Each structure stands twice: as C-alpha cells, then as structure tokens.
Structure 1
Amino acid sequence: MDLDAVTDELYGLPPEDFTAVRDRRAQEARKSGDRELSGRIRRLRRPTLAAWACNLLVRDRPEETRLLLELGEELRRAHRDLDGAQLRQLSAEQHRITARLAREAADLTARAGHRIGDDAQREVTETLHAVLADPRAAGEWAAGRLDRPLPAPVGFAPDTAAPAPSRRPKATRTEKPAQRPAAEAPARDRGGAERARREQHKEADRARERARAAERELRAREKDHETAETEAHRADTRRQETEEEVARLTEQLDQARAQQRQARTEARGAHDRLRRAERALTEARQQAGRAAGRAEDAGDGKPRSRE
C-alpha cells in the first residue's frame, strides 16, 4: 500500500463512500505498522460535490482534458505576448469548451447518482477557467484529486480579450495639417500602447498580490479545517472504542444475568426438593415413632393407653 495509490482510489469514489474507505485504508496501514502512512491517509479530505465532478471529468474524459490543457497553454502564451488576434480567437474557443465540459461534468455526476445544483455548477465552471489561466491550477486539476473546487482566476480573467486597435483620425480636405498627424500617429499609438502595457502590468501585479493574499487566507482556513477534522476523527475513534467497550460489557452483563436467572431457577428447585425431603423426613420419623410404640406394647403384653 502506498499513499499515491490510495489517494487515486479515494478521489475516484462518490463523496458518500470517501470517509469509510479512507478510514479503512488508514486502519490497514496502521495494522501493517506504518503509522506515518496511516496518518497521512486520515488527513485526506472528502471532496465537495463540485470537486468530485471535476475529478470525474478528468478521469472519464481524457481527450477533452488534454484539449483544455492545451488551450490553456495557448491562451497564457497569447496573453503574455499581448497577441490581440490570437486572444480573440482563443477566447471564443475558451467559452465554448468550458461550457461544454461543465455540462459533461454535470451529466457524469447525474449518471453516477448525483445531480449538482447551480452553485456546484458555477464552481465547476470557475475551476475550468482557473485551469486555463494558471498552470499550477491546471496541474492540480489534471491529477483528478481535487477536494475543493479551484477559485476563479484573478489577473487573467475568463473573458480576456485583446484591446481594440487604435483608430487613426481621418484627414479632411479643408485642413492641410492633417497630413502631419498621419506621420506622427504611429508614435502616438506606440506611446499609448506602451502606457496601456504598463498599466496592464501594474494591474496584473495588483491582481497577483490579491491572489497571494487570498491564497494565504485559504491556506489558513484549510489548516483550521484540517485541525478540526483531526480532532473530529480522534473524537470518532474514542466514541467507537467506547461503544465497543460498552458492547463488550453489555454482552458480559447479559451473560451474567442469564447465569443469575439459571442459578435462581436451580436454587428454587433445590429449595423445593429440600422442603419435600423435610416433609418426607418428618413423616418417616412419625411412622417410626408409631412403629416403635406398637413394638413396645407388643413386648409388654399391655396395651398402651390412648391419650
């Protein structure tokens, strides 16, 4: 048994089966003597419905998974190069493929016995957009082991589009100087494009900082969740051990009560036999006394007086 195989197994299960199988695998690892592996397995978190839907999509639709990952690489490259024409083309494809994959994820969960609601559907879509915008998110999703949906990307928005090309002013017949701005327009366009580029980089930096802050907050909340989950598991273990001890003691008590009932029955029978024996003894003594009296009378030749 190894962590990778167990993790892959668990995140392919329906969410309602996750905890029982996880605890069973952890117990098996503990019995085999690998306490560290047991602890790491127990720390694996049950996936939300949206995360499970994303995992199903990766596992059941490998070709679509590959296409989305490739589209993400192309989109990030076009965004980095500020290739407006490529961005416009890829943006349209982005919306088509994410909408189709979100529907397929919903269909997969429905066939597996779960229908996801609007909130979960939205989280699936946000995860797909995150995959397109962030290579790290793409790697997490492609592993098929999400326990939470990925947050919507910041900095590289799902509907990124190239800026509209600059429009040059039209020259008029009445204004001769219009010929000079035509020559100067490229310089102005370059200056405007450079300012737009700098502003875009600043906004990207601000977005990345917001993303890092959100990531730190997420990690803190995840740590709190893991701590609470560990405490809950320990409490469940203590409860299970206590219930087993109560069951064992209850069984012993039932056995003792059965033995007590049997002993009482045997005691009543013995007392009944004792009373019958005492009555028989008394009767025998009386008969013996009467017989002895008659024998004595017969020896004396005199009848005994009756009192």
Structure 2
Amino acid sequence: MVAALDVLARELYAIQPQDFTAARNTRAQELKPSDAALAKQVAALRKPAPSAWVVNLLAREHPDDLTALLALGERMRTAQEQLDRDALRRLGGERRAAVTALAQAGAARAAGLGHPPTAAVLGDVEQTLLAGTSDPAAAGAVASGLLVKPLRAGGFDPVDLLGAVAVPDAAPWVASPGGAQSPALPDPVQLADVRRRRETRAEAERQEHNADAAAAEVDALERRAHRLEVRRASLEAEIAELREQLDTAEAALGAVTNDDDALAEARTQATRAADDARARARDARDAADALEKTD
C-alpha cells in the first residue's frame, strides 16, 4: 500500500501547483472503485506550500547538487561531534554558498515554469535546505520530493518533521534522472545513534552552560559579600569613633554640670554676703545719722 501511494504521490507532487488539487481529486476518484482505501489516502494528500514545491523541484531536477549539499551536512555533523572548529568554519562557508546557489537554481526553474518565488518563499527554501543539512531525518525529507511544508532547524534539536512529508514511510531518497540511486540515509539504528550522540552532546553543553552560569553567580555573590564586609568594617569604625566622641561629650557635659552646680552655690553665697553687707551698711548709716542728731 505504501509503495503504491509512494508512486502516486510522486506523480502528483511533480505537476504544476495550480493543477495539483484537480489532479489529486481525479486520481482519487479513479481509484475509488478498485481500491477505496488507497483512494482515501490519495485524496488526503496535501497541496505543497510554495517553498516545499520549489524544494521538491530541486529533488527531482537537481538531485546531484542536492545530494552534495546533504552530504556536506553529514560532514558538518561529523566535524561537530569531533569539535573540529576549523573544519566547521570551512564547511559552514561551503554550506552557505551551496544553499544560496541551489536556492537560486530552484527559483530560476520555478520562474521558468511560471511560478517565480517571492523573497519570503525563497527564504523558506533556504531554511529548508539548511534544515536538511542539520538532521539526517530532515535530509531524507528534503530529498524525498514529497515535501509538504518548509522545514526549520532548531539548533541541536532534531528538525520537526510532523506533517512535513506527504508519505512519511516512503523511500527517503529519489532516483536521479539517469536512474542511479542517490546515497541512502543511515538505517534506523544508525539514525537513532546519531540522534543520541547529538542529544548527549547538547545535554553536555547545556550542563556546561549551567555550570558556567552557576560559577558566575557564585563569583558575583562573593564580590557582593566582599563589598558588604568592607562596608561593615567602615561602619563599625565610624560607630567606634562616634562612641568615643559621645564619651568625650558626656564627660564635658558632666564637667559643665558640675561647674554649673558650683556656680549656683557660689552665686547663692555671694548674694547672701551682699545682702549682709547691705544690711550692715544700713545699720552703720542709721547709727551715724543718730549721732549727728544728738550733736
């Protein structure tokens, strides 16, 4: 069933976009009397997005160039696993050039067929080609010729292929026009191993990032603790100085209080002595006045 659907899907995804829906419905109607289940599957085939149609065009008409690009992606993944930065830098430049050239070739061919892609569509084509170089499973989807929607790579994570290929179980690589079969993708065991290595590496890098972030946080806290310690020492010294000044001021206040008490006592005695002196002076004057009268 899958093989039959694969063949029918390849026929449909090779026609012009404006003819896809009518051709699909016609083919489903033709199949319905003899194979209702297959007819239902054909009727469910989705029309490809413009960018997916361009990539499918490349898979059919530029299989060698597309195969070379996807093989370049495999070499990049190997260099990444080996942490070969020089190779990654060199291969990255080659990939950018290859993606641009292949996308332009697809755009030119699509324009020749009466469907010139917009800048947004061309951008999706480039992103889909890049996604094909980042993940072996995505490479199979890109090269299948049965792509339904554009793909996008997400760093170290596997490319989301849910609903991306019209017949997910179909053979992932198409035959070239000369009949030679393109290199096969890794088998499921190899593919799982590749993904496990990538996920393990990504997890290690995430943990290293977390460790670096934690170390930076510890360093920041230690610097803050040092600043607080310096501030504490400064405040303690200031408090000690203020306490010394307070002790001095309290001693001076005590002396002033003592002086004030002594002054008050002296004032009282002086007032009393002055009163006594004035009284004696009055008495003396009264005595003198009395003597003068008797004379």
CA shift, 1:36, in A, is 0.6
CA shift, 1:15, in A, is 1.2
Which residue number corresponds to residue 248 of structure 1? none
Aligned 8 A contact 1:155 1:204 in 2: no
Aligned 8 A contact 2:156 2:202 in 1: no
Which residue number corresponds to residue 110 of structure 1? 111
Which residue number corresponds to residue 205 of structure 2? 201
Q: Distance in 1 between the 2:44 and 2:208 partners? A: 35
Letter in 1 for 2:100: A
Which residue number corresponds to residue 291 of structure 1? none
Establish whether residue 24 from structure 1 lines up as the match of residue 26 from structure 2.
yes
Letter in 1 for 2:59: V
CA shift, 1:99, in A, is 0.8
Q: TM-score, length-normalised on structure 2?
A: 0.53
Q: Which consecutive unaligned segments of at least 5 residues does structure 2 have?
A: 159-200, 211-295
Larger Rg: 2
Aligned 8 A contact 1:29 1:38 in 2: yes
Rate the CA distance shift 1:77–1:24 in 2: closer, same or farther, 3 A: same
> Matched residues, percent identical?
39
Deviations 1:81-118 (Å, cap 9, x if unpaired)? 11111111101101110111111110010011111101
CA shift, 1:65, in A, is 1.3
CA RMSD of aligned residues (A): 2.5
Aligned length: 166
Q: Distance in 1 between the 2:21 and 2:36 partners? A: 18
Q: Distance in 2 between the 1:81 and 1:136 partners? A: 20
Establish whether residue 136 from structure 1 lines up as the match of residue 137 from structure 2.
yes
CA shift, 1:204, in A, is 11
Q: Which consecutive unaligned segments of at least 5 residues does structure 1 have?
A: 158-196, 207-307
Deviations 1:137-161 (Å, cap 9, x if unpaired)? 100111111011112332279xxxx
Establish whether residue 70 from structure 1 lines up as the match of residue 74 from structure 2.
no
Aligned 8 A contact 1:133 1:156 in 2: no
Q: TM-score, length-normalised on structure 1?
A: 0.51
Which residue number corresponds to residue 12 of structure 1? 14
Q: Secondary structure at the match of 1:31?
A: coil
Rate the CA distance shift 1:118–1:205 in 2: closer, same or farther, 3 A: farther
Which residue number corresponds to residue 260 of structure 1? none
Rate the CA distance shift 1:80–1:12 in 2: closer, same or farther, 3 A: same
Most deviating of 63-72 and 145-154? 145-154
1:3 paired residue among 5, 16, 24: 5
Pairing 1:1-307 to 2, within 5 Å after superposition: 2-32=4-34, 34-155=35-156, 201-202=205-206
Rate the CA distance shift 1:28–1:124 in 2: closer, same or farther, 3 A: same
Q: Distance in 1 between the 2:79 and 2:116 partners? A: 36
